[in-house]
């Protein structure tokens, strides 16, 4: 029995609603890549979400506002031409590098299309080689971000190889996040894709001014614990960073996401990779959840008996944090059991869709 199946009985017992209509949600952490993969994956996100924060970790990282502008146009061109998804809005980010200039921060802020700057400590995850060697080198950029209200989005793990991989998020809080928040108390900070009890508690309890601290939570970290990676063999499609954690951490994330606390919001971290690079001797990190991300979140909230809290988490808290208007249209999910969709073909490259068992229990209209 895997981590998901062990909860399905509870899910059935708790359920009564047959449909759920919520304000159209946004995805506050998304990888869409470029080229054929971008064209193949974007429509799935666009059909569900009104907006998404687009991660800048392309092979050639998006480090300038000018690059973010041209990448944005490629994303806009990948939207469906008409009908659902055609109004999807990509919210761009810059990839923080050592010595990013305050002028670049200002250009980003004034562009009207850049909504954050992403911190990857060098080597921490996919395409992070160009990342920051020491945040100390980014002082001028951080000052400019704080002054101009541009959020810092953090991949919250240390890279020190002597720290156990399951502890790297917790250690990040002590070594990086706390000192950063002490030095830049009014910088807007998002602790991305949190995976541990420590991170959930930190975000909930930190003494932070309203709108200065938030955290995204993925659907896969709400649904699975680390056993899923090793059920009967090694399951590369459940490998992502930060890696899935023990059940006690999954429960803490469910508690945080369903708490109604405005610091927690939806961010899928959907991260498509070609199948041959996932099923590899050194497979890439990333779960591709975009094709039915909202259904996965609905499943997680339903299992927790908290469907009524999904709208705040998915549609309000992130928009409020980024000081953007909440959406005015709605989406409707129906309770129906259906088979997870097929894998995606991106110009002859297969992308394997994330699955929790073969059946899903909610379907977007
Ligand atoms: C992401 C990717 O593939 O770009 N991978 C992942 O496992 N989440 C990068 C990231 O967000 O860490
Ligand atoms: Zn990510």
Asked whether residue 1 carries a pLDDT value surpassing 50, the answer given is no
pLDDT on residue 358? 81
Q: Average pLDDT of 147-164?
A: 97
How far apart, in whole angstroms, are the C-alpha atoms of residue 168 and residue 160? 8
CA-closest residue to ligand 1 atom 5: 286
167 burial type by CB count under 10 A (0-12 exposed, 13-18 middle, 19+ buried): middle
Supply the range of the domain harboring residue 314: 3-364
Edge-first strand listing for the sheet containing 19-23: 19-23, 330-339, 359-364
Asked whether residue 305 carries a pLDDT value surpassing 80, the answer given is yes
Asked whether residue 243 carries a pLDDT value surpassing 80, the answer given is yes
> Is-contact 9 249, C-beta < 8 A?
no
Ligand 1, from 129, 240, 275, 277: best to mutate by most atoms within 8 Å of Cβ? 240
Q: Average pLDDT of 80-91?
A: 96
pLDDT on residue 15? 52
Percentage of residues of the chain with pLDDT beyond 90: 92
Ligand 1, from 93, 271, 287: best to mutate by most atoms within 8 Å of Cβ? 271
- Is the four-CA dihedral 306, 242, 118, 138 of positive or negative sign? positive
CA-closest residue to ligand 1 atom 4: 126
What is the total count of domains within the chain? 1
269 is catalytic: yes
Q: Phi first, then psi: what are they for 19, rounded to 5°?
A: -150, 155
Here the CATH number for the domain that contains residue 173 is 3.20.20.140
Percentage of residues of the chain with pLDDT beyond 70: 96
Q: Which ligand is nearest to the CA of 288?
A: 1
Q: Average pLDDT of 279-296?
A: 97
CA of 124 to the centre of ligand 1 (A): 9
pLDDT digits (tens, 9 = 90+) for 2-24: 343 333 333 333 457 899 999 99
- pTM for this one? 0.95
CA-closest residue to ligand 1 atom 9: 126
Catalytic residue among 269, 302, 320, 347: 269
CA of 287 to the centre of ligand 2 (A): 9
């Amino acid at each position: 029995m895997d981590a998901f199946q062990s909860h399905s009985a509870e899910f059935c017992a708790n359920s009564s609603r047959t449909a759920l209509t919520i304000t159209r949600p946004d995805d506050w952490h998304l990888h869409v890549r470029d080229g054929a993969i971008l064209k193949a994956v974007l429509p799935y996100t666009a059909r569900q979400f009104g907006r998404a924060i687009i991660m800048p970790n392309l092979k050639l990282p998006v480090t300038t506002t000018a690059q973010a502008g041209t990448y944005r146009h490629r994303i806009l061109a990948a939207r469906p031409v008409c009908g659902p998804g055609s109004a999807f809005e990509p919210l761009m980010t810059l990839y923080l590098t050592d010595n990013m200039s305050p002028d670049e921060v200002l250009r980003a802020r004034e562009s009207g299309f850049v909504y954050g700057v992403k911190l990857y400590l060098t080597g921490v995850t996919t395409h992070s080689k160009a990342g920051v060697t020491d945040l100390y080198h980014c002082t001028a950029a951080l000052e400019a971000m704080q002054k101009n209200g541009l959020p810092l989005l953090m991949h919250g793990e240390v890279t020190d190889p002597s720290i156990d991989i399951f502890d790297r998020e917790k250690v990040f809080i002590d070594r990086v996040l706390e000192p950063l928040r002490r030095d830049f108390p009014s910088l807007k900070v998002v602790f991305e894709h949190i995976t541990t009890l420590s991170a959930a508690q930190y975000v909930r309890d930190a003494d932070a001014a309203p709108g200065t601290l938030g955290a995204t939570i993925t659907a896969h970290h709400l649904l699975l614990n680390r056993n899923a990676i090793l059920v009967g063999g090694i399951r590369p499609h459940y490998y992502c960073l930060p890696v899935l954690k023990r059940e006690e951490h999954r429960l803490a994330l469910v508690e945080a996401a369903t708490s109604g606390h405005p610091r927690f919001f939806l961010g899928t971290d959907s991260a498509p990779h070609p199948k041959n690079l996932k099923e590899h001797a050194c497979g890439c990190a990333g779960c591709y959840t975009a094709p039915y991300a909202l259904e996965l979140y609905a499943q997680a909230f339903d299992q927790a008996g908290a469907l009524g809290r999904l709208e705040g988490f998915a549609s309000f808290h992130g928009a409020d944090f980024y000081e953007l208007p909440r959406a005015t249209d709605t989406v409707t999910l129906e309770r129906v059991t259906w088979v997870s969709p097929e894998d995606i073909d991106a110009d002859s490259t297969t992308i394997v869709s994330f699955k929790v068992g073969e059946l899903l229990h909610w379907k977007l209209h």
